[in-house]
Amino acid sequence: MRNISILGSTGSIGTQTLEVVQKNGDIRVTALAAGQNIELLERQIREFKPLIACVWDQERAKELKIKVADLPVRVVSGMDGLLEAATEPEAETVVTAVVGMIGIRPTIAAMEAGKDIALANKETLVTAGHIIMPLAREKGVKILPVDSEHSAIFQCLNGEDKRNIHKILLTASGGPFRGKTREEMRDVQVEDALKHPNWSMGQKITIDSSTMVNKGLEVMEAKWLFGVEMDQIQVVIQPKSVIHSMVEFEDGAVMAQLGTPDMKLPIQYALYYPKRRFLPGERLDFWTLHEIAFEKPDFRNFRGLSLAWRAGERGGSLPTVFNAANEWAVKEFLARRISYLEITDKIERAMEAHKVVDKPGVEEILEVERWTYELLG
């Protein structure tokens, strides 16, 4: 029986992780953490019976405590509660599926407690990769990617020497606005941007996918996760999301991981690594799959990708500014307070105003995040 803690249990990755747990029946959930959705969290507590349940919002945590008073679960809140859920003594693996930079401190705490990380929070490596990866080596813990693209690369590298990587080919669907110009995207509404052609995801990541900011974040994450330079990563548009990513080796061989667009596959692979388990669901039918098309990404019209490249190449605190500005802008767009194109405009403004700090510590990273929010707000 394997024990896990799930941070972000009521979000898209969190709920799908619990579906995987439910179907397999041999994983015990010892801690759950959520933001504000106590109705769903209560149902999860009653079904999976964790020892600890964390709610970010203190008032909502008080409500939950009353609702589950008949159960032997300890309800905690805030960052202290999140850290407690991340370091729950019986958990061997922590699934970090919270959205945003809130995931940095719990991830570090879990690693320092000797726990493996099933990483779905890309902001952790984007902003603090220079801290996280050396810490993983020091503590002897695994970083197991849950993102479909990074899981694909991870699978392609099974049994391979990372020093033989020539290039990582990170695939992208292109999102709902593939092929459109900035002028054609001028009047994009929230509802339009939330219509991803292939994947079912949370609101934030769906917007990020439409702007290609998400792919930019994944490029920076891949740099740290696989120990490569930015110029060894190439983004390739693959509209049907059949190939989830590829690795080209020094001898010219290319390994690819293919599958249906189902997040349960990378989730389950991370939870049971290095073993594979049966996963119910659709399978690729190569008799009906007539072709797999590829395109070059449009850096000019999808400026989120080109700005991410600039941030990743410069490094230091600039990726934090890129990420924080995007978080702020997406929140404002979802609230209909800024236009769609202003998302990347705000990111660029913040990046240009920032004086880069080389090798920032955790507190400096969080301070840069606050600075970015104050600048844009």
Q: Which residues pair with 53 in a beta bridge?
A: 32, 75
Which strand (E) or helix (H) includes residue 265? helix 264-272
pLDDT in tens, 165-185: 999 999 999 999 999 999 999
Distance CA 113, CA 88 (A): 9
Which strand (E) or helix (H) includes residue 304? helix 303-314
Pairing status of strand 52-55 against strand 74-77: parallel
pLDDT for residue 267 is more than 80: yes
pLDDT for residue 335 is more than 70: yes
CB-CB neighbours of 314 under 10 Å: 16
Nearest Cα to Cα of residue 40 among 70, 78, 68: 68
pLDDT at 158: 95
Distance CA 217, CA 324 (A): 11
Pairing status of strand 254-258 against strand 243-249: antiparallel
Distance CA 4, CA 20 (A): 12
* Residue that the structure tokens 């979802």 belong to: 334
pLDDT at 343: 98
Nearest Cα to Cα of residue 326 among 66, 110, 101: 101
pLDDT at 205: 86
Residues 208, 217: contact at Cβ < 8 Å?
A: yes
DSSP state string for 120-162: --HHHHHHHHHHHHHHHHHHT--EEE-SHHHHHHHHHTTTS-G
Which pair of structure tokens corresponds to residue 1?
């029986």
Nearest Cα to Cα of residue 102 among 128, 86, 123: 123
pLDDT-based confidence at 199, cuts 50/70/90? low
pLDDT-based confidence at 197, cuts 50/70/90? confident
Q: What angle do CA 337, 341, 346 make, to 5 degrees?
A: 70
Distance CA 340, CA 346 (A): 11
pLDDT in tens, 110-121: 999 999 999 999
pLDDT for residue 201 is more than 80: no
* pLDDT > 70 in the chain, percent: 99
